[in-house]
Amino acid sequence: MKQTSITPELCRPLSPARTVFNYGMTTIAFLLSGLALLPLLAILLEILRQGVPGLKWEVLTNLPAPVGMEGVPNGFANAIVGTLIMVGIASLISIPVGILTAIYLAEFSQGKAIAQLIRFVVTVLSGVPSIVVGVFAYAVVVLTVKGFSALAGGFALSIIMLPIVILATEEALKLVPTSLRLASSALGASRFQTVFRVTIATALPGITTGVLLAVARASGETAPLLFTALFSQNWFEGLTSPTASLSVMIYNYASSAYAEQNKLAWSASVILVGIVLFVNIASRIVTSNRFKNR
């Protein structure tokens, strides 16, 4: 039998229409990706351009100076401390509650109606505008104890974090293969042992990512703090006093009539974006967990 060569078939180009379509679509996809990156890059560049020149060591270690005072060190150290404290409080509330709720939803609810309800409520909560959360915390905490405080701010932020932690943790738990749960049970482990020794350990990178995303989100929130922690020109005075935060400081100073306050707002933005970026990078590193591959 005569062997015909396969070469012409393999090397024949696609029809011009298909070639044009391929290249056209690739180009469009590339351009659109660039377009999506544009706002992010623009924001970052602008913040860096405006904020970095004013970013000296003294702004990180000093209190805000009263307006119009010359030659007095000016800074926002209290706002950095306040943000860290209030995000810390929010984490202390939302991480345990959120993780336990997610464990219930993913491992113990077994499709009960109450679980569906919880999941629905959490999803709705994750979509509630943060200003509403602020007003709610104002009504519940600030009006009851008759005062703005770091605790109220932390509480408001915890409401922002809670649905993020719950939804991310539940997703992470659901991704744990059933075969691991079966393996654990087949060795005589009880359901709680299986959950705490195998499921959570396996899902830990995913859970950590969710928690860190929630932390990053809470660090940048302004509206929940406006009505709860308010602001303060002084150092942190205790959990029950009004407390400064980076986001509220940026909000106040950015719209200020004084140029030096505007400048400080830009520098604070650099710090805030830096914190958020750091937390996100940390979550990336944790996710590339040591047991993922060898």
Partner 1 sequence: MQFSFHDSAINASSTSDLIPALRVKDLAFYYGSQKAIESVSMDIYQGQVTAIIGPSGCGKSTFLKALNRISELEGVVRVEGQVEFFGQDIYSRQVNLNRLRRQIGMVFQKPNPFPSSIYDNVAYGVRVFSRPNRVSLDETVESALRSAALWNEVKDNLSKSALGLSGGQQQRLCIARALAVKPKILLMDEPCSALDPIATMKIEELIDSLRHELTIAIVTHNMQQASRVSQYTAFFSTDESRIGQLVEFGATTQIFMAASQSRTRDYVQGRFG
* Site residues for partner 1 per CB under 8 A: 177-190, 193, 197-198, 201-202, 290-294
* Smallest gap from residue 184 Cβ to partner 1 (A): 7
- Paired tokens of 287: 């996710």
User: In b/e form, how buried is each residue of 7-42, taking b as 16+ CB within 10 angstroms?
Assistant: eeeeeeeeeeeeeeeeeeeeeeeeeeeeeeeeeeee
Residue closer to partner 1 by CB (options 193, 262) is 193
Are 153 and 244 spatial neighbours (Cβ–Cβ below 8 Å)? no
* Smallest gap from residue 106 Cβ to partner 1 (A): 14
Residue closer to partner 1 by CB (options 146, 292) is 292
Residue closer to partner 1 by CB (options 62, 193) is 193
* Smallest gap from residue 45 Cβ to partner 1 (A): 41
* Smallest gap from residue 164 Cβ to partner 1 (A): 24
Residue closer to partner 1 by CB (options 59, 176) is 176
Closest alpha carbon to 249 in 213, 219, 274: 219
Residue closer to partner 1 by CB (options 50, 185) is 185
Residue closer to partner 1 by CB (options 113, 186) is 186
Q: Angle at which helices 246-254 and 77-103 pack, to 10 degrees?
A: 130
Residue closer to partner 1 by CB (options 177, 274) is 177
* Smallest gap from residue 118 Cβ to partner 1 (A): 21
* Smallest gap from residue 213 Cβ to partner 1 (A): 22
* Smallest gap from residue 111 Cβ to partner 1 (A): 10
Residue closer to partner 1 by CB (options 180, 270) is 180
Burial group, residue 239, by CB count within 10 angstroms (0-12, 13-18, 19+): middle
* Smallest gap from residue 292 Cβ to partner 1 (A): 8
